[in-house]
Structure 1
Amino acid sequence: MRDGQQINGLSRRHVIRTAGSVGLAALAGCLNRSDAFGRGADEDTSVGEPPIADRSLPEEYTTDELEDASLSGGPGQDGIPAIDEPQFISAETPPTNLADGDPVFGVELNGESKAYPQYILVWHEVVNDRLGGESVAVTYCPLTGTAQGFSRGDGEFGVSGRLINSNLVMFDRGTETWWPQILARGIRGPHEGAYLEEVQVTWTTWERWRKQHPETVVLTEETGHIRDYGADPYGGYNPRSGYYENENTLFSPLATDDRFPAKEVVVGARNADGSMAVPKATLRERVVVDGTMSDVPYVTVYDEKLDTGYVYRNPDTESVESDGGDITVDGDEYDADALPLEREIAFDAMWFAWYGYYPSTEVHE
C-alpha cells in the first residue's frame, strides 16, 4: 500500500480496518482459515480446482510484469471474506436495505435467475454459489467497477488481498493460483498462463432486474459475517458519490489514456481477435454501435430494459439496425440479448481499468 494514495481522505487500508466498529478481525470473519471459510474444525476443508478454458485472450503484459505490478490492498488473503454459503430470498421480500435504484449483478443460467446486490458484495467481492445446476463464482471489484462471473467446478475462489491495476486479484483455494479478475488469467501458481471459463453477469438495477426476471431470488445479508450493510466504504451509487463519482484512483493504472474520464463506464469485450470498448453513454444514445477487432466486424447493442449492452461477433456483416429501440437483423426483429449472431462475454468497466489492462483496445463510438 502506498501511503500517499487515498480515497475520500482515507486509504483503502484505513477504510477496511475501520469498517463499522468491528475491526480487521471481524472483517476477516474470525482469526483462522477454516472459520473464515464458514466451516467447523471437523469438516472437510479440501477443495478442487476450477475448470480451465480452451481459449485465448489478449496478453499485453508478461506474467512477471503483472506479478511485479501487484500491490497489497490492505487486508491479507481472505481478509476480505468471500461468501461461501449464500442465502437467498424471493423478489417479493427483498432485503430492507435494497432500493429499486440500487445496483445489482444479475445472473441467469439454465433457467435460474439470481441477483447479487452491490451493497453486499462491496464487503465480500466474491460469492461462491450454485446456479442453474452449475458451480459459479460471482465477483465484484469496487475499485474498477467490474462484476464478472466464473465457472468454478469443484473449486472455490477467495480474495487474495492483492490488487493489480486497482483490480481484484482472486485466488482459488485448491491451487492458490492468482487470478486477476478482469484478465481471467492465472499469473502465479500451478495455473499460470491458463484462463478461466466465464459466465455472463449483468450490471443493472434491482427494479430493472426484478421486472425482467420476476422469478429471481436475491442474495440476503445473512452472509455469516458482521458488516455494516447499507454503508458503502467507498461512497455510493444511488445517488453516485465518493470514489464512484470523482476521478481519483487509489493506485496508478498500468497505462493511461485521456480520451474519456477515468471512471467513465465502458462496455468491454475481449477474445482471440483482440479487445474492444464501447462508451456506455454512446451506446445508450445510438443503441447499435458497429466496429471491428483485427478487421473482424462486431456489433454492440443496447438493452434499455436492463440498461446494459451485448457484444456480438458479426463476420458476415449482417445488417443490424435499431428503429425506435427495436433491434433488427437483416430486417427481422429480435430481442437485444438474442440476436442470431455469436455473442461474446462483455461487462461494464471503468475506462482507466479497461485501458490499463488493454492499452491496444479498439474503441467503437
Structure 2
Amino acid sequence: MKKLAFLLAIVALLIGAFGAIALTEAGQIINMPREWVFGYFEYRQWLNLLIVALAIIALYLSIRFNVLSRKLNILYGLAIIACLFFINLFAPEFWLRAQQHGAEFISVEQADQRLTDDTDIFVLEIDGDARAYPRDWMQLPHIVGDNIGGQDTVMTYCALSNLPIAFNPNMNGQKTDFRIIAQVHNNLIFTDRNSGELIQQVTGTAEYSQTELVQYPVQRMNWKAFKQLYPEGKVFDYNPTAFDKLTLKLFDTALEPHYAGEPMFPTLTMEDDRLATGEQIWGVNIGEAAVAVAKSHFDNASQFVTRVGTQSVLFVYYDELDTVAAYLVENNGIDWEDIDIDPYGKYVDGQLTRANLYSGMPWMIWSHWFPQTEVLF
C-alpha cells in the first residue's frame, strides 16, 4: 500500500505540474509544443478530476498506513491545490482579468487629465461611434468589451505581439465569455467559457471548430490625434490594483529587450532576415496572402496601393497625425495614390472601407505567423 500511495501521489503531482506549466508562461520558456498546450486545455476538466481523485486516494493511503508525516501530507495537498489554481484560475481570474463584460468608459475630457499627447492609443470606430483603448491600460485586461455603433465588440491586445485586434465576440450566433489562458509563439490565446473553444488572437480562429471571428479594423495613433479626430469618443478606463502596478513594471522591464528584437520566449522561427527582428511593421493579411510594410517605405511614399492576394489595398500615412490607415480599393481606373483621402476614409466620391491593419507587430512575430508575407521596404 505504501508503494501504491507513492505512485498515485507522484502521478497526480506530475499531471498537475504539467498542466500548470502548459497553461502559464512557464510552458513557453521551455518551448512547449503548441499542440501540447491546446491538447491539455481541451481535456483539462477530466484531468482536473483525475488529479483530485488520485490525490485524495494517495492522501487517504498515506494517512491510513502512515506513509508520510502529517507535515508532508499537508505540503503535498497544498502542492496539488497550487497546480489546480495555476491550471484553472491564475491567468483568467487573478492575473489577467478580462473585461469583456462590465468595462467602464470615460469622456475625452476626463481621460485628458490622465493621458499625455504621445500615449499609444488603439482606436475602434463603427459608424462614427469611436472608442480609444490606451495601450498601457490594455496590457493586463487584454480583452475589453463594449457595444460600438450598435455592434458587440471586444478589443484584444497581446503585449508580446504588440498587437491590438478587435472582434465581434459572438461565435456561431452564440454569446461568449472570453478569458485569458496563456500564449503560444509569442501570441495571446484566450478561451470562451461558454463553448470551451480556444482562440488564437493573431489568426482570430477557434482551435477546435475552426470558426473565424468577425474582425473590426483597428487604427493605431497617439492621444493627441484621437482627441482631434474623435472629440466625442469614449475612452476605456482602467484603474490598476497595487499588484497590477507591480506587474506592469515587470512587464515593461521584460518587454524592453523583447521589442528590441530578442524574443522573450524562444518559440519563433527567426529565419526570415529581410527586416531586423524587432522592427515594427504595418501588416495586412487576406486569406493566404499577406504584406508587411516597413517604416522606410512610408519615407518614400506616404500613399500607395499594393496587392494582397486578389485584393488591392491602399495604405495612407497621415503625417500631421502620425498614423497609418489601410483601405480596400477596387481597380476601377481611379489613381488612388493621387486621391485625397481624409483620416475618416472619405474622399470626393464616397467612403472607403478600412482593411484589417495589424499595427506595431515586431517583424520576428509577424514573419513567424505569416511566413508567406511580402515585404515593402
Query: What TM-score results when the alignment is normalised by the length of structure 1?
Result: 0.69
SS of match in other structure, 1:196:
coil
> Which protein is richer in helix relative to its size?
2
Match of 2:153 among 106, 116, 136: 136
Measured against aligned partners, the alpha-carbon deviations of 1:260-312 in whole angstroms (never above 9, x if no partner) come to: 12221111111236111111342254212333234654332223325123143
Is 2:229 the counterpart of 1:221?
A: no
Tell whether the 8 Å contact from 2:92 to 2:98 is kept in structure 1 after alignment: no
Is 2:306 the counterpart of 1:291?
A: yes
2:364 maps to amino acid: F
Match of 1:310 among 322, 326, 340: 326
Measured against aligned partners, the alpha-carbon deviations of 1:337-356 in whole angstroms (never above 9, x if no partner) come to: 23665542112122111111
Measured against aligned partners, the alpha-carbon deviations of 1:52-78 in whole angstroms (never above 9, x if no partner) come to: xxxxxxxxxxxxx85357699995444
SS of match in other structure, 1:107:
strand
The structure-2 alpha-carbon separation of the partners of 1:312 and 1:69, relative to structure 1 and needing over 3 Å to count, comes to farther
Distance 2:116 2:246 in 1: 13
Query: What TM-score results when the alignment is normalised by the length of structure 2?
Result: 0.67
Gap regions ≥5 residues in structure 2: 1-16, 18-23, 27-32, 42-85
Which residue of the partner structure matches residue 346 of structure 2?
Answer: 338
1:267 maps to amino acid: W
Aligned residues: 290
Which residue of the partner structure matches residue 198 of structure 2?
Answer: 178
Which residue of the partner structure matches residue 46 of structure 2?
Answer: none
Match of 2:336 among 300, 320, 340: 320
Distance 2:375 2:190 in 1: 28
1:185 maps to amino acid: T
C-alpha deviation, 1:256, in angstroms: 3.0
The structure-2 alpha-carbon separation of the partners of 1:275 and 1:90, relative to structure 1 and needing over 3 Å to count, comes to same
SS of match in other structure, 2:111:
coil
1:248 maps to amino acid: E
Tell whether the 8 Å contact from 1:172 to 1:178 is kept in structure 2 after alignment: yes
SS of match in other structure, 1:242:
helix
Match of 1:358 among 354, 366, 370: 370
Please tell me the root mean square deviation across aligned C-alpha atoms, in Å: 3.3
Over the matched positions of the two proteins, sequence identity in percent amounts to 19
Measured against aligned partners, the alpha-carbon deviations of 1:210-269 in whole angstroms (never above 9, x if no partner) come to: 111111221222478962189443328xxxx82464211112214531111222111111
Which residue of the partner structure matches residue 40 of structure 1?
Answer: none
Gap regions ≥5 residues in structure 1: 2-10, 14-64, 322-327
Match of 1:98 among 99, 115, 128: 115
Is 2:276 the counterpart of 1:261?
A: yes
Is 2:180 the counterpart of 1:164?
A: no
Structure 2 counterparts to residues 1-365 of structure 1, below 5 A: 67-68=35-36, 75-78=90-93, 79-83=95-99, 84-94=101-111, 96-153=113-170, 154-161=175-182, 163-188=183-208, 192-222=209-239, 227-228=244-245, 231-235=248-252, 242-243=256-257, 245-251=259-265, 252-254=267-269, 256-272=271-287, 274-294=289-309, 297-304=312-319, 305-316=321-332, 318-321=334-337, 328-329=338-339, 333-336=340-343, 337-338=345-346, 343-348=354-359, 349-365=361-377
Distance 1:136 1:88 in 2: 14
The structure-2 alpha-carbon separation of the partners of 1:278 and 1:257, relative to structure 1 and needing over 3 Å to count, comes to same
2:200 maps to amino acid: P
The structure-2 alpha-carbon separation of the partners of 1:12 and 1:100, relative to structure 1 and needing over 3 Å to count, comes to farther
The structure-2 alpha-carbon separation of the partners of 1:342 and 1:211, relative to structure 1 and needing over 3 Å to count, comes to closer
2:35 maps to amino acid: E
Tell whether the 8 Å contact from 1:255 to 1:359 is kept in structure 2 after alignment: no
SS of match in other structure, 2:365:
helix
> Which protein is richer in strand relative to its size?
1
The structure-2 alpha-carbon separation of the partners of 1:123 and 1:314, relative to structure 1 and needing over 3 Å to count, comes to same
Distance 1:76 1:122 in 2: 13
C-alpha deviation, 1:180, in angstroms: 0.8
1:198 maps to amino acid: Q
SS of match in other structure, 2:109:
coil
Q: Which has the larger radius of gyration?
A: 2
Tell whether the 8 Å contact from 2:286 to 2:309 is kept in structure 1 after alignment: no
The structure-2 alpha-carbon separation of the partners of 1:132 and 1:224, relative to structure 1 and needing over 3 Å to count, comes to farther
